[in-house]
Amino acid sequence: SCFMATDLKYYELELRLSTLERDDLIAAIFKYLVALYIALLCCIIFSTRLILKSVFRPLDRLLEWLENVSPGHPAPYLNPDCRIREFRTLNRAALEMHERAEKAYREQKEFIENASHELQTPLAVINGKLELLAEHENLDEEVLKNIDDMFRSLHRAIQLNKSLLLLSRIQNRQFEEVTEVDMNPHVRKILELLSDLYEEKELDYHLSDTEDCRIRMNESLAHTLLTNLIKNAIIHSPEHGRVDILIHSTRIEIVNDGNQALDERQMFKRFYKGHSGQKESTGLGLSIAQSIADLYHLSLTYYHDGRHHFVLKVAKP
């Protein structure tokens, strides 16, 4: 508006009102502060991550080195020196630990091989002496019976020696050659051989192998795994019983008759013989089978529903 002041001059009066409310101003300031805080936090996190990544790079190298270390194989190079004293100490401790583990592994391997080799010679000599003794003409029935008992015990000792050596070699990962094994022909050959060997039990065998099952593993260990599982089913089946073998692309199931369930907590341990207590069994068959399955990341499970079921599952990628 215009008005005349006391000095008889005209003046223009202009009033300006702020259109920004107080609450809106507070909200705007809060948003900017939050955005600034988030930006600052992101910068701090990013910077901290870069610093920590640089600081813990020796630890990452050590973890990678530990993943690649395996007994019986040359260890990859690990530089024990770094700028951080704690990591330098850790690297040296890891190298010393590997050297001690490698030395213990070599000594254990040599001991097992030497012990097995040294045992084979006297066992073979005893076996030969018993065979000569059994061919002697002036032996009565009681002596021949005792010789037969000694033959059985000697055979069991030989099997124990071989099984323990095999179990040790499996656990030490000495079977390095790996191929894709077709399990179907192995099952057929093993079943044919064992059915003839245990013909006196007069078992009823049923094989269903409409699907091909292939597993990437050592072929010798695959044969051993199947032999132990099928032999276990045959040995522990009652006379005139039934053994079923079902082969699918992802699993092999071996089923045999048996009323009393096995102890699932003990059955895969060494020298477990179940309720039958078979004298000819070494008690190592299932333990060897489980060790082979673990070596190649296979699932070997058991359940009982009036019959014994052993299921070997193949992990498909």
> Is the pLDDT assigned to residue 276 strictly greater than 70?
no
pLDDT tens profile 226-272? 988 888 888 888 888 888 989 888 888 989 888 777 777 777 777 66
Phi, psi of 215 (to 5 degrees): -130, 135
Domains and CATH numbers, the chain: 179-313 (3.30.565.10)
Q: Looking at residues 63-89, what average pLDDT do you find? A: 77
Q: What is the C-alpha separation between 108 and 173, in angstroms, rounded?
A: 13
**What was the pLDDT predicted at 275?**
55
**What was the pLDDT predicted at 42?**
94
Residue 43's pLDDT band, with cuts at 50, 70 and 90, is: very high
- With H, G, I as helix, E, B as strand and everything else as coil, classify residue 257: strand
State percent of the chain over pLDDT 70: 90
First and final CA of the chain: distance in angstroms? 87
Q: Give bridge partners of residue 12 from the DSSP assignment.
A: 2
Inter-residue contact 207 to 188 (CB < 8 Å): yes
Global pTM?
A: 0.60
**What was the pLDDT predicted at 218?**
86
Q: What is the CA radius of gyration of the chain?
A: 38
Q: Helices (H), strands (E): how many in the chain?
A: 7, 9
- With H, G, I as helix, E, B as strand and everything else as coil, classify residue 11: strand
**What was the pLDDT predicted at 271?**
67
Residue 37's pLDDT band, with cuts at 50, 70 and 90, is: very high
Closest CA to 227 of 304, 285, 182: 285
